[in-house]
Amino acid sequence: MTDSSTGAIRLVPLPGAAGLSAPQRSFNTLTKQVAARRARLRAWEAVWPAFQQRYLDEWVPLARAATGHEAELVRRLDVAFDMKGLTKAERALVSELVVAFARPLLDGDAADGLHEIHARHQRSRRGGEAAGAAPPHGRDRKRAGTADDDAAPARSEAPAAAAEDESDEAMMRHIQAELDAQEARAAAEAAARDAGRSQRRRASRRKSADAAAADDPAAQDGPDDAERAAAEAVPELPPVQISRSLRELYRRLASALHPDRETDPDEHARKTDLMQRLNRAYDRQDLLQLLELERDLNPAGADRLAGAGDELLQHYNGILKAQLGALDRELHRVESDFRHGYGIGASAILAPDTALRTLGADIAALRRAVAQRERDLQAFRDLGSLKDWLRGFEA
């Protein structure tokens, strides 16, 4: 017999039978897998337009604003480098910040004029003519915020130069760590909120699943690892044999439809819809859809599969396995295109049911980043504000 209560094709033991045969269990496993892949593809088709719309309407403008603020910050730091009242240590720190903020922008749309600024301050960091003197060493930066620094002699010895290089690298690491920490704090807040919601959803799903399993004994006899392995071991069928079998099933269903022969308007509309679904399923070589249509067309004869011999089921299993492989390839293509189109890394978790939520979290993080850069830009309104802002980056 077939169980159609869930809308899916699923074989159940005939009355008096000891249980399902191996081909029947493989059939149930394969139909479940095919249905899951189809559902995931439909989910991607449904979410993609909404994702793209929100990406273009919200993410792109915010990303451009963030990049523009970063570029403006670099330019203001470049101007601030020559402000009267900055100590030598503060000028060195300004150069460090220019390099840190400018480097990620050099290959982007906002790079106009930044290459020259970056190169000039890169030389400054190394004690070139643009800086006039080497930056203070490592932990001396906090003590270097006095006018006495202007009288400090430059050190030209080789050991001191090596120490300067190490100090520069340490300062760059510190600056980058401070920038990363700002982003990490914002991301951690968003992740904590998402984790709480996810935990509540998982608990709810587990509770629902446990209740369903208790009420439905049939739900407890799902395929185990051995059954999945048996389904994977189903032999491949030649494409010609698959096409022939699908064509035979298609012809049998098409001959039973004949919507043009129906005089009853409701029945004519029903069979016309079924015929359109039949044509689409055949074009896609979708055996599961054809079997579902057979069940929908003639509910009274829905047990044809239950009484089918293992030979026919093995044959159908081979077709289902080929269909599963095609769906997996299509899913891989769709998800690869999605990652490539929206700059999502290969290590990031990607699923259609979480894509919009993840995008929303990214948009929120971008808003926080834009707001932070706007606050940073306010630091350049006077010398005192700039000095206070620079202290946040001192080692």
Structure tokens at 214: 């208790």
Distance CA 323, CA 244 (A): 15
Burial readout 155-167 (b: 16 or more C-beta within 10 A, e: otherwise): eeeeeeeeebeeb
Q: Are 291 and 38 in contact (CB under 8 A)?
A: no
Distance CA 15, CA 28 (A): 18
Q: Whole-model pTM above 0.85?
A: no
pLDDT digits (tens, 9 = 90+) for 93-130: 999 999 999 998 888 776 778 889 988 888 876 654 44
Residue 335 clears pLDDT 80, i.e. is over it: yes
Residue 321 Cα distances to 114, 283, 324, angstroms: 56, 17, 5
pLDDT digits (tens, 9 = 90+) for 173-219: 555 555 555 555 555 555 555 555 555 555 544 544 454 444 444 44
Mean pLDDT of the 153-169 span:
44
Residue 116 Cα distances to 103, 162, 197, 288, angstroms: 12, 26, 47, 63
Distance CA 30, CA 130 (A): 70
Distance CA 109, CA 103 (A): 13
Structure tokens at 192: 């904590």
More confident residue, 137 or 296: 296
pLDDT confidence tier of residue 75, bands split at 50, 70 and 90: very high
